[in-house]
Amino acid sequence: MNKITKLQQAMPPAMEAALLCDGANRFYLTGMKSSAGAVLVTKKSAWLIIDFRYIEAAEKQVKDCRVVEEKNRFEQIRELLAEEGIKGLSIHNEVVSLGEYRRMEEALAGITLDGSGALSDVMGALRSQKDEDEIDCHRQAQRITDQAFDHICGYIRPGLTETDVAREIGVTMAALGSEDKHFNFIVASGPNSALPHGVATKRVIEKGDLVTMDFGAVYGGYMADMTRTVAVGSVAPEKRAVYETVKEAQERAFACIRPGAVCGDVDAAARDYIYSKGYKGCFSHGLGHSLGVEIHENPRFREGSTDRLRTGTVITVEPGIYLKGRFGVRIEDMVVIRENGFENLTKSPRELIIL
């Protein structure tokens, strides 16, 4: 079933029409990437309203809704809704600024706007349940990511900088077919690895360092996300112990992952283990996040979350321990929730690799 039909079926009775103006949802619904445009969906019709720059490509590529050249967006929306006698329009409130919302209210006078978040909830629920085609895109993106990791393990050596490694990962993934040309990956070595989101710097990698790399390819518009921490030359016993603690925390989380599991409980399985080993306060982020056409989607594994897992959700499991000013370890895999538990899309080894 195409995504527009899915949305139409998921729209609650009171939701007469839906308007989506952000890039991620436009791509999700139409399969076409663009920097502008709006998707208008009613229970029986759907339109992509898009300007002259994209019109030709849209007419060729977009199959599941009518393509209309944008002249005066709100005037066009008003006319299209009038044709179906529709008086209410739901807005994706997560991505519309207050200023835009006010302009919309003015331009669409007579139509009742619903910015309550109902449409955001519907879209979030749809996007969190991937079909097999979407899962296959994630799988291909992860395959490229795994191949790039294998390559980078043969490349890293003392004397290279973090940015050298980040660049090499990017060039390798592009050569392997990744669609992402932005190489802002995390490569954090030595004391920098204690920063959960440290970007690559000019720091020179030394023997004895841990190097944390967090990166992912994009395939068919869908993302991969993986972190591996490797040791360069040798590994001190304390660093190995921290690594094994993170790895065991990840395994404890895996053991809880199945449809119906509460996201906060999965987070707790990893977190409690890390804290019990004396690292309270050293795991400063949530255990994982869903991803799809965007890198951070819902649901998420985080403390206290009452969301329940459902089949088809693609989500990361990424425990970490960060010892300020010293070093850090994170291991991140991407899994898809299956009826009998989960399938791990990440194939790179999770054992500590000493390069």
Instruction: Tell me, by CB under 5 A, how many residues bind Zn ion.
Output: 5
> In a 10 Å sphere around its CB, with 0-12 CB exposed, 13-18 middle and 19+ buried, how is residue 184 labelled?
exposed
Helix (H) or strand (E) holding 250: helix 237-254
- The least distance separating Zn ion from the CB of residue 299, rounded to whole angstroms, comes to 14
Segment 62 to 91, residues that bind Zn ion, using CB under 5 A: none
The residues facing 343 across adjacent strands are: 336
Q: Tell me the Cα Rg of the chain.
A: 23
- The rounded distance, in Å, linking the Cα atoms of 129 and 125 is 7
Looking at the Cβ atoms of 114 and 318, the one nearer to Zn ion is 318
Question: Quick check: bond before 299 cis, omega within 30?
Answer: yes
Segment 267 to 326, residues that bind Zn ion, using CB under 5 A: 316
- The least distance separating Zn ion from the CB of residue 344, rounded to whole angstroms, comes to 15
Looking at the Cβ atoms of 30 and 227, the one nearer to Zn ion is 227
* Binding range to Zn ion, per CB under 5 A, among 51-59, 86-94, 227-235, 256-264: 227-235
Supply 318's token pair.
Answer: 């990424």
* Binding range to Zn ion, per CB under 5 A, among 146-154, 226-234, 278-286, 340-348: 226-234
> In a 10 Å sphere around its CB, with 0-12 CB exposed, 13-18 middle and 19+ buried, how is residue 319 labelled?
buried
Contact between residue 319 and residue 253 where contact means Cβ atoms under 8 Å apart: yes
The values of phi and psi at residue 337, to 5°, are -75, 125
Segment 192 to 221, residues that bind Zn ion, using CB under 5 A: 214
- The least distance separating Zn ion from the CB of residue 186, rounded to whole angstroms, comes to 7
Looking at the Cβ atoms of 37 and 288, the one nearer to Zn ion is 288
Under the phi-then-psi rule, with left for phi > 0, alpha for psi from -120 to 50, and beta for the rest, what region is 341? left
Looking at the Cβ atoms of 180 and 214, the one nearer to Zn ion is 214
Under rule CB under 5 A, residue 225 binds Zn ion: yes
Looking at the Cβ atoms of 181 and 197, the one nearer to Zn ion is 197
- The least distance separating Zn ion from the CB of residue 350, rounded to whole angstroms, comes to 15
- The least distance separating Zn ion from the CB of residue 192, rounded to whole angstroms, comes to 16
Distance, CA of 227 to chain centre: 14
Binding mask of the shown chain, residues 23 to 62, with x at each position contacting Zn ion by CB under 5 A = ----------------------------------------
Q: For 209-350, where are the E strands, in sequence order? A: 210-215, 218-219, 222-223, 226-231, 288-290, 297-301, 314-317, 320-323, 327-330, 333-338, 341-344
Looking at the Cβ atoms of 92 and 330, the one nearer to Zn ion is 330
- The rounded distance, in Å, linking the Cα atoms of 266 and 10 is 28
* Binding range to Zn ion, per CB under 5 A, among 78-86, 163-171, 173-181, 329-337: 329-337
Looking at the Cβ atoms of 3 and 330, the one nearer to Zn ion is 330
The values of phi and psi at residue 145, to 5°, are -65, -45
Supply 246's token pair.
Answer: 């993170």
Looking at the Cβ atoms of 26 and 228, the one nearer to Zn ion is 228
- The least distance separating Zn ion from the CB of residue 291, rounded to whole angstroms, comes to 7
- The least distance separating Zn ion from the CB of residue 24, rounded to whole angstroms, comes to 17
- The least distance separating Zn ion from the CB of residue 332, rounded to whole angstroms, comes to 5
Looking at the Cβ atoms of 57 and 195, the one nearer to Zn ion is 195
Under rule CB under 5 A, residue 164 binds Zn ion: no
- The least distance separating Zn ion from the CB of residue 288, rounded to whole angstroms, comes to 7
Which amino acid belongs to residue 79? E
Site of interaction with Zn ion (CB under 5 A): 214, 225, 227, 316, 332
